[in-house]
């Protein structure tokens, strides 16, 4: 799921890597960059087998918070941190392999949807606030 979340963020025109590895706080400040830690977790998976089908429910949670470099850590700041969740259902055949693939697809689909529909808009709002704040200071 980490890869799909990272790819979705990158598709929103956000960098997901820093040249030379993780930056220090001074490097972020010198470049004017802001960094965030994004943590995606599978919150719940339930499989119910009925008749010739398996019904799958999955819930994913994604947390995002400011990150201040390898020497600065992360901070849960009320207006700059968020938690987003999403749930989906899928139906597959009963074979274990089909159920396993159904669970994987469910989790990846929810991770991508939550990132695209909730995390990216949150990042854009932070960008807008940051731009307005810096324009007002000039």
In tens, the pLDDT along 31-76 reads: 989 999 999 999 999 999 999 999 999 999 999 999 999 888 787 7
State which residues form the domain around 87: 2-137
- Enter the pTM of the model: 0.86
Work out how many domains the chain is built from and give that number.
1
CA distances in angstroms from 44 to 41, 73, 107, 120, 126, listed in the order given? 9, 28, 9, 23, 29
Contacting residues for 51 by C-beta, under 8 A, at least 6 apart: none
Q: How far apart are CA 46 and CA 58, in angstroms?
A: 6
Please provide the average confidence, as pLDDT, over all residues in the chain.
91
Residue 133 has pLDDT above 70, yes or no: no
């Amino acid at each position: 799921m980490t890869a799909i979340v990272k790819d979705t963020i990158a598709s929103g025109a956000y960098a997901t890597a820093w040249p030379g590895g993780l930056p220090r706080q001074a490097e972020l400040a010198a470049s004017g960059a802001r960094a965030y830690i994004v943590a995606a977790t599978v919150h719940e998976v339930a499989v119910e087998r009925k008749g010739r089908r398996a019904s799958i429910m999955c819930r994913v949670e994604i947390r995002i918070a400011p990150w201040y470099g390898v020497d600065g850590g992360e901070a849960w700041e009320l207006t700059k941190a968020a938690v987003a969740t999403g749930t989906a259902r899928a139906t597959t055949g009963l074979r274990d392999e089909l159920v396993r693939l159904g669970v994987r697809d469910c989790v990846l689909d929810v991770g991508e949807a939550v990132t695209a529909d909730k995390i990216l808009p949150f990042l854009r709002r932070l960008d807008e606030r940051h731009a307005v704040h810096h324009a007002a200071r000039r």
